[in-house]
Structure 1
């Protein structure tokens, strides 16, 4: 949270572009920038419709350790 750069990602759980980033870019971002303290990263839900709302509630209201595997 004390990193000089704040990055907020708005992602939809039903968006193919968001899924591609999660699979192909998120790990490198976290390893190269977040883990080194250069960037503070926060993921927020982007809601496109009722399916997104229900999925967001399911992953956010569950146990913290299950959030990232489900999203």
Structure 2
């Protein structure tokens, strides 16, 4: 006590939280899954819909762009 007043000690001010690996990005949208050769839709990181690449009704330009830019 200093001057009759209690002194507040901050015992945790020097502690830092351990830094782990950054969280993986949450997938949203359509992706091309190489392992299964399917177009896969994700919503909030959860698999929602699958469509085989063979016989896919989407335009070829779209399929090629997704295969090139969003392959997982």
Q: Same fold (TM over 0.5)?
A: no
**Which structure is higher in strand share?**
2
Band of TM-score, shorter chain: under 0.3
Please state which structure has a larger fraction of its residues in helix: 1
Give TM-score, length-normalised by structure 1.
Answer: 0.22
TM norm structure 2: 0.22
